[in-house]
Amino acid sequence: MPRRKIIRINAAELNVWKGLWEELNNHPLFQEADFDRIEIVSLKRNPDPRIIDAETPIIRLERFIRNNGNRKVGKQKLCEIMKISRPTLNKWIDDEFISKGQQKEPWSRQQFNLETVASELKKQQNII
């Protein structure tokens, strides 16, 4: 992921500069500071996470459901069906594109309902 862009602005260009200057000038931390150049620095917001292209995994998932019926599968099988990597699936789960799988017992593996996963991915892609 690329670094976020840094946004800089000279504080003297702001309408609140006079009040800011007085506040900083009276603050003990800034007693020896040079106020000729004060910058306000911020980072650009990260864009909201989204799936760039899930059309092919959706098609593969629907084809599997059509041929084998709806069932619950683990992460590994889900990755095999959609032909995506495990890190991609984990990212989609972390970004809440796919809801976390159901676990019957604390030690059991997550199980994903195939039709639910397909509908969640379609919703994300605005296919529905």
Say if residue 78 is in the same domain as residue 101: yes
If asked whether residues 116 and 69 sit together in one domain, one would say yes
Are 78 and 117 in the same domain?
yes
Q: Tell me which residue of 118, 108, 121 sits closest to 71, measured CA to CA.
A: 118
Per DSSP, 112 falls in state: E
pLDDT at 102 over 90: no
Among residues of the chain, what percentage have pLDDT more than 70? Answer: 88
Is 1 among the domain residues?
no
- Judged by average pLDDT, the poorest of 1-10, 43-52, 109-118 is 43-52
Work out how many domains the chain is built from and give that number.
2
Q: Do 28 and 59 lie in a common domain?
A: no
Shared domain for 65 and 20, answered yes or no, is no
Its domain, for residue 84, covers: 55-125
Above 70 in pLDDT, residue 121? yes
47 vs 38: CA distance, rounded Å: 28
- Are 124 and 93 in contact by the 8 Å Cβ rule? The answer is no
> Does 68 lie in the same domain as 25?
no
